[in-house]
């Protein structure tokens, strides 16, 4: 290989995203994974759009130096309108983080045995955790493919792809579906320079955490729940040029909890 070929090669080792337009969904909470991810992307030089279902997103955007949008990402027409608005204000989205869908205090996870789960409850969990990722990905992959570069990171969970608890069948099914979507889309987009990966958090300490969830975090091998910023670090790495040879993968961020065979005292 000659010197010219070496010096002209892209810098795949960089984490920088200078000038890239990034969209992070579900970033309305200042204590959440979406907000922490958006902050890191801004620090890496990206022009960041954030979206949630309420107008508080504009406060978060002001804090971050990002641009906020309000949209219901389970609605196909609203996702289309969002894509148009971002393109007009910021440019074409090159980095997409599908974080929308995680439970919050205002929109708690449905916890009910399958025998008691209504169809509307089932569909709501599937829509907010899986349909949102499908609709947003579909809205932006065409542009990414045309430009020959893109990054999509979907938020899965350990619940579903790795384990599950009683009463969370709908959530677990949706998150397992996120991993299936990730892998299939990765294979569809690989020839176009677009990588698609998933991050699967375990117990993470956010404003929406319950006492029971925090106790679960204390029982991990590391001995504490994770933080939104620790999950965001994994997400933003997969968004970077440095992750160019990683696609179709699920990165687990759970303090080693899914590795341990049994808990010994």
Which residue in the list 12, 35, 171, 245 is annotated as catalytic? Answer: 171
- Report the distance separating Cα 247 and Cα 265, nearest Å: 38
Q: Residue 7: exposed, middle, or buried by beta-carbon count in 10 A (0-12, 13-18, 19+)?
A: exposed
How many other β-carbons are positioned within 10 Å of the β-carbon of residue 181? 20
Alpha helices in 65-168 (DSSP H): 76-89, 119-126, 132-147
Q: Which DSSP letter does residue 108 get?
A: P
171 tagged catalytic: yes
Look at the alpha carbons of 111, 33, 62, 92 in this order and tell me if their dihedral is positive or negative.
negative
For residue 67, the SS3 value is strand
CA nearest neighbour of 144 among 45, 250, 72, 247: 247
Q: Which amino acids are annotated catalytic?
A: 171
């Amino acid at each position: 290989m000659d010197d010219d070929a070496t010096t002209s090669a892209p810098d795949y080792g960089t984490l920088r995203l200078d000038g890239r337009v990034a969209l992070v969904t579900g970033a309305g909470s200042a204590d959440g994974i979406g907000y922490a991810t958006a902050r890191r992307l801004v620090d890496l030089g990206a022009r960041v759009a954030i979206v949630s279902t309420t107008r508080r997103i504009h406060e978060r955007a002001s804090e971050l130096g990002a641009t906020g949008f309000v949209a219901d990402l389970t609605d196909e027409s609203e996702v289309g309108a969002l894509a148009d608005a971002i393109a007009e204000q910021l440019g074409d989205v090159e980095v997409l983080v599908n974080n929308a869908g995680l439970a919050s205090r205002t929109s708690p996870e449905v916890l009910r045995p399958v025998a008691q789960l209504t169809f509307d409850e089932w569909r709501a969990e599937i829509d907010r955790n899986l349909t949102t990722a499908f609709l947003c990905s579909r809205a932006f992959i065409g542009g990414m493919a045309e430009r020959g570069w893109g990054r999509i990171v979907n938020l899965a969970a350990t619940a579903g792809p790795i384990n599950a608890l009683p009463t969370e069948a709908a959530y677990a099914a949706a998150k397992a579906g996120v991993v299936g979507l990730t892998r299939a889309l990765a294979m569809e987009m690989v020839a176009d320079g677009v990588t698609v990966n998933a991050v699967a958090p375990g117990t993470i300490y956010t404003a929406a955490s319950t006492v029971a969830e925090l106790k679960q975090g204390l029982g991990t091998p590391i001995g504490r729940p994770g933080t939104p910023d620790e999950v965001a670090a994994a997400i933003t790495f997969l968004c970077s040029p440095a992750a160019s040879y990683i696609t179709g993968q699920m990165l687990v961020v759970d303090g080693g909890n899914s590795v341990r065979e049994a808990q010994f005292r």
